[in-house]
Amino acid sequence: MELHQLTIHELHALLVKREVTSREVTEALYRRIREVEEKIGAYLMLTEEKAFEQAGQVDRKIARGERIGDLAGVPLGIKDILCTKGIRTTCGSRILENYVPFYDGTVVRRLRQEDAVMLGKLNMDEFAMGSSTENSGFQITRNPWDLSRIPGGSSGGSAAAVAADECIAALGTDTGGSIRQPAACCGVVGMKPTYGRVSRYGLVAFASSLDQIGPITKDVEDCAILMNAISGYDPYDSTSVNMDVPNYKESLINDVKGIRIGIPDEYFIEGMDADVERAVKEAIGLFERWGAKIKRISLPHTPYAVATYYIICTAEASSNLARYDGVKYGLRSKGFRDLMEMYTQTREKGFGKEVKRRIILGTYVLSAGYYEAYYRKASQVRTLMRSDFEEAFGQVDVILVPTAPTPAFRIGEKVEDPLQMYLSDIHTIPVNLTGIPAISIPCGFSRENLPIGLQIMGRHFDEGMLLRVAYTFEQNTDFHLKKPPIA
């Protein structure tokens, strides 16, 4: 096995035994990046100098015989939506092309405190709006399994980099599926934690009641390790929840006997890819064989999720993105005659098509006379969806569904049809609307050798149960060990 192919826990073991240095691993990763990045396009920026500084610090600690944490010396990639002090943070947008934050987001600070090595900033759909990473203001990212296909989005750079071994693991963010859907498309593990589990301070806001940061990793154990590092209350984010964080490594239990698994009819719908259906049904069969109790359930309001989501997320986005006005930071257009033109031209130049589309839709649904019909209505439907899940979780411990209705689609396939693009998030959106956690793990391959993701949803703050179920699946299958042809 090559160094760049290691997982966090494998690398940690080698570092502790002094069989390898962080510097060597960091060098191996940058070598790998130079080798494949031209084909993949996962990174918006590399931070080599700082990375080697961090690696050197860890190597000196190890040499002095100091104890090191699970992430110390481990090279990670960070989605470019997370503020990094002194390092450009573009959020995939031209409007933030030259934005250099003077502070670290809380999760970034936590990773630094853990002595993780940051390799660079990863590509994404502009302001995390998209399901294919084609909406990046800078470049597209290709799927390592098939370069003619999208890596998913919006954390497409993160998922592609992990799948192509261009980093050991990465952070992404998930507003409507932006961690899980790319993880599924690229054959890696991605978790959206419970809303409030992870601080959003220093995360560039898209839809504040839905956004959440989470790990994208090569296996479930690494997911637990990153969750340990990033979870917990933060006084700088008043929506982060002040409750104890368990040690998620203790949830890595290879046993699902007696666990009740719900299968909602509404997720096995017409238009679903046959290979996806087969892979997910086979996974369900395996869980049954391992002693889990499978139960058919119903989440009746599922068909309304996409409509609800596109009212709520655009409304929140139109408000959040009002801050890009050319005054305090970011782009300011030139050649305006007055203040109004400064605003309108800056935003015209700085925002891409999808962002404009969502801001305008959000402005409309919040505008006088329409608020009741759209935003209030959607917020009410959100309550109905919450009740669906509350009822379901009274009967079962987790819910199993496909992460996405199809494997990765082709680059360009849905660019001109926003509604079709939105519908690719149909299975992930309900999780954000209701705030519950969910994980996507690899569960098979299509006939075209594209990865398929299995999504496991759980109760609020029950990430431990998700990790246990996911870990059991992983320990007894080998889908997660397959490498894309680019490797």
Partner 1 sequence: MKMDIEKVARLARIELSEEEKVTLGNQLEQILTYVEQLNQLDTTGVEPTSHAVPIYNAFREDETRPSFPREEVLSISPDQEDGYFKVPRIIE
Residues 346-365 that bind partner 1 (CB under 8 A): 347-348, 351, 353, 356-357, 359-361, 363-364
| 251: number of Cβ within 10 Å | 20
Catalytic residue chosen out of the listed positions 178, 231, 240, 318: 178
Question: Which residue among 331, 399, 411, 469 contacts partner 1 (CB under 8 A)?
Answer: 331
Q: How many of the chain's residues bind partner 1 (CB under 8 A)?
A: 71
Site stretch for partner 1 (CB under 8 A), options 42-50, 254-262, 431-439, 448-456: 431-439
Nearer to partner 1, 182 or 326 (CB): 326
* Cα–Cα distances in angstroms (integers) from residue 246 to residues 57, 72, 203, 394, 460, in the given order: 29, 20, 23, 22, 14
Minimum distance, C-beta of residue 119 to partner 1, in the bound complex (Å)? 24
Distance CA 240, CA 244 (A): 12
Alpha helices in 367-460 (DSSP H): 377-395, 418-423, 429-434
DSSP state of 299: -
**336 touches partner 1 (CB under 8 A):** yes
Interacting residues with partner 1 between 395 and 414 (CB under 8 A): none
Nearer to partner 1, 296 or 334 (CB): 334
**466 touches partner 1 (CB under 8 A):** no
Interacting residues with partner 1 between 70 and 109 (CB under 8 A): 99-100, 102-103
Nearer to partner 1, 42 or 203 (CB): 203
Site stretch for partner 1 (CB under 8 A), options 198-206, 238-246, 247-255, 396-404: 238-246
Distance CA 87, CA 276 (A): 40
Question: Which residue among 63, 274, 322, 481 contacts partner 1 (CB under 8 A)?
Answer: 322
**435 touches partner 1 (CB under 8 A):** yes
Q: How far apart are the first and last CA of the chain?
A: 11
Nearer to partner 1, 137 or 196 (CB): 196
Please name the residue that has the structure tokens 């502790």.
16
Give the DSSP H or E segment for 438. strand 438-445
- Could you tell me if 429 and 192 are in contact, meaning their C-beta atoms sit under 8 angstroms apart? no
Q: Rounded to an integer, what is the distance from CA 3 to the centroid of its chain? A: 24
* Cα–Cα distances in angstroms (integers) from residue 296 to residues 48, 259, 452, in the given order: 51, 14, 22
**343 touches partner 1 (CB under 8 A):** yes
Q: Is-catalytic flag, 79?
A: yes
Interacting residues with partner 1 between 179 and 218 (CB under 8 A): 194-196, 209-210
Read off φ and ψ for residue 456, nearest 5 degrees: -115, 120
**433 touches partner 1 (CB under 8 A):** yes
Minimum distance, C-beta of residue 417 to partner 1, in the bound complex (Å)? 8
Interacting residues with partner 1 between 259 and 288 (CB under 8 A): none
Nearer to partner 1, 63 or 327 (CB): 327
Token reading at 465: 């149960």
Q: Is-catalytic flag, 334?
A: no
Catalytic residue chosen out of the listed positions 22, 79, 121, 199: 79
Distance CA 412, CA 345 (A): 28
| 307: number of Cβ within 10 Å | 15
Please list the active-site residues: 79, 154, 178
